[in-house]
Structure 1
């Protein structure tokens, strides 16, 4: 699959952006925060070990071929993240304590920052009159996080959150909720995100257009081409 960036804007009426990895990233990193939680319980873990464990646990949890397994709500997300924390930090004597600390940490705006190109890109889109939505596999904490980040609060985006929709990406119901929220037909919406399956392929299967934001320039091992940053993508709107 390839993406023609020059043509992707034709007929677009609104922009839909993923959150984590697309607009925001955790600071410090997930591995650093998890390792710190372990140290508070007397367990010293190498950050690279934690990073590898988290990536595997998150990948295993995301890779569900059964669409109904993507059903979610606020309690389900809490259970899901408790399971991930236990998988990443099995050595801890008090896993519930670690979960509570981590849940609270990642629900605070000061635990996240926007990528440098986010503010200018969103300001340009807003100036052009394009409605902006943020659509994320997350829970209600995301509202607090985004409200505390000036670059995002300034564009007053519509929020579509999986725990509120009832399904996580790439379930078709998630993308349907996006269309309903924005009052637009699928083909008039452009979904931008860092996850090839959730933000591009899933969106395209639901009739939206999708562009892959490959911030790390790693490629996906296939024919999908990405853009390196939001600025690169938005710049084509001005050509």
Structure 2
């Protein structure tokens, strides 16, 4: 696998959403802890954080098309299972799921990273197409539309539940390239998840750039902030 980033070929960029452009506020762990508290269950935030990480990485819910396949109903089942695993103590798990599903579908439950809007603007000014590509569901459209930093900046949003497959499946990246109207080798994937955004993109023929806000890139082509993406291109082309 050739991980060398050839900027002169890049004409479009797909940016991951959660952890790259946006983050939940309050954090996922706090939101889950608050949902439990509303049912009289007091939990430690750090314990909930650990449970969520384990549940999120190990879920096995998939659609009828097999591994990594999804749709809107699959995503609801997947998140219902995650909530049950993270909050087994709550007396009414259906209520907890409904509250959290609604919570994370509201724009006010999210914030754009400070570098998100400047990065998107710089990418567009550099003459490259840009889209958001996320393992999410249809709620993401409302979330992005409600964040002024992104609402008018990114017109194309590719969501796994609408594609039918979640990252890192090649079909997801094929859909991204189709929406951008570019071949895979002309598209750069930028995100904070090594498997979903980097390795999956490489396997599908895209270039990839790891967003490592803590500076730990593992030797991969990386940036510590999104505004460095367009700056790197300007410096290397």
- Following superposition, the deviation at residue 3 of structure 1 comes to 5.5
Please name the residue that 1:193 is paired with: 191
Partner of 2:232: 236
CA distance in 1, matches of 2:119, 2:131: 14
Q: Is the 8 A contact 2:12 2:129 kept in 1?
A: yes
Secondary structure of residue in 2 paired with 1:134:
strand
Gap change, CA 1:137 and 1:35, over 3 Å in 2: same
2-structure distance, mates of 1:93, 1:78: 20
* Contact residue 123 and residue 229 of structure 2 kept, 8 A: no
Identify the residue that residue 75 of structure 2 maps to in structure 1: 77
| 1:42-191 alignment runs, 5 A limit | 42-61=40-59, 68-191=66-189
Q: Do the aligned residues in 1 keep the contact of 2:10 with 2:187 (CA within 8 Å)?
A: yes
- How far has the Cα of 1:77 moved from its partner? 0.1
Report if the CA contact (8 A) 2:68-2:169 is conserved: yes
Counterpart residue number, 2:22: 24
| Alpha-carbon separation, structure 1, partners of 2:30 and 2:57 | 19
Aligned with 1:174: secondary structure?
helix
- Contact 2:212-2:224 at 8 Å conserved across structures: yes
Write out per-residue CA displacement over residues 140-193 of structure 1, whole angstroms, 9 at most, x where no aligned residue: 000000011112112133111000000001111111111111111000000000
Residues 37, 98 of structure 1: 8 Å contact kept: yes
How many residues were matched structurally? 233
The runs of at least 4 consecutive aligned structure 1 residues that moved more than 6 Å come to none
1: CA distance between counterparts of 2:173 and 2:226?
21
TM-score by length of 2: 0.93
CA contact (8 A) 2:61 2:78 kept: no
Q: SS state of the match for residue 107, structure 1?
A: coil
Q: 1:93 to 1:206 in 2, by over 3 A?
A: same
TM-align CA RMSD: 1.9
Listed as ranges, the gaps of 5+ residues in structure 1 are: none
What is the distance in 2 between the residues matched to 1:227 and 1:128? 17
Residues 7-16 or 89-98, more deviating: 7-16
Return closer, same or farther for 1:34/1:23 CA change in 2, 3 Å cut-off. Answer: same
* Superposed CA offset, 1:44-65 (max 9, x none): 000000000001111112799x
Q: 1:126: how far off?
A: 1.8
User: Contact conserved, 1:3 with 1:211, CA < 8 A, in 2?
Assistant: no
CA–CA separation in structure 2 for the residues paired with 1:181 and 1:111: 28
